[in-house]
Amino acid sequence: MDYEMLKVLGLASLPALGNFGGGLLAEWLRPSQKTLNRALHAAAGIIIAVIAVEVMPEALNSASAWLLALSFLTGGGAYLLVEAGIERWQKRKAAGAGAGAWMVYAAVATDLAGDGLLIGAGSAVSSQLALLLALGQVLADIPEGFAVIANFRGKGVGRAKRLLLSASFALPVLGAAVLAYFALRGQGEAVKMAALVFVAGLYSLAAVEDMLREAHESAEDSRWSAISFLAGFALFLVVSGGLG
């Protein structure tokens, strides 16, 4: 295994660790639903910042706007297809705690696979871009990890199984990162940027449709929810500026 591949695996492990760390917070600290609402708003702000601050400016310097627009729309369409497939799968499952818990597992595994694709594609462009993308994802995955463990607990899943399921989320993110890196490593800049923007389209809907919807379901929005969204965006902007 070469050094570049080890770097990809190391960066891809960060979102998995963030998700697992969020799950540990849910196990032992048990923050309130208001805290979860604000954390999810902050995570959505971070994801939007990753796309607006890092992905899009980098892509516009290397590929045509029409190609990037098509890639963005295709990524959003892929998200809608995955979401529809998960919903159909849920409806076919027998009602009960197990069905609901596995629905959540499938949704989070899909999100983390998207993390891996983003980091793997970023690694094919530059190590610095991949690092910034990984940092953005780990910050956003902490509240997601909290939410999934809280959901598993609510469905009656035991603690040992909850932690095992949370740890297993490393598999989709690592696998997707390796796949994206090898698929894009020898490609031209335009292809690499189109792939990044494809994942950005997927993530835009994930932030708006999934994270904010989950935040609204956990607790009623307040001014602090909006402030948390702005703070998440500003936090990644500072991180990006400091490393750039």
* Segments making up each domain of the chain, as ranges: 3-24+38-243
Name, of 50-54, 85-89, 109-113, the range with top average pLDDT. Answer: 50-54
Band of pLDDT at residue 103, cut at 50, 70 and 90: low
Condensed to tens digits (0 to 9), the pLDDT of residues 190-223 reads 898 998 899 888 878 877 777 788 788 778 888 9
pTM to 2 decimals? Answer: 0.81
Mean pLDDT of the chain: 83
Q: Specify the higher pLDDT residue, 18 or 209.
A: 18
Q: What is the pLDDT of residue 97?
A: 46
Contact 14, 140 (CB under 8 A): no
Percent of the chain past pLDDT 90, that is, above it, reads 16
Query: Please, what sign has the CA dihedral across residues 202, 205, 210, 215?
Result: positive
Which amino acid is present at 91?
Answer: K
- What average pLDDT does this structure show over 97-108? 61
Tokens of 126: 């530059």
- What average pLDDT does this structure show over 89-97? 60
Q: Specify the higher pLDDT residue, 99 or 73.
A: 73
Angle, helices 3-28 vs 97-125, to 10°: value is: 150
**Residue 94 reports pLDDT greater than 70:** no
- What average pLDDT does this structure show over 26-51? 83
- What average pLDDT does this structure show over 91-111? 63
Which range has the worst mean pLDDT, 7-11, 60-64, 91-95? Answer: 91-95
How many CB atoms are located within 10 Å of the residue 238 CB? 11
- What average pLDDT does this structure show over 164-172? 88
**Closest alpha carbon to 105 in 44, 162, 159:** 162
Query: CA angle 141-217-112, nearest 5°?
Result: 25
**Residue 10 reports pLDDT greater than 50:** yes
Contact 198, 78 (CB under 8 A): yes
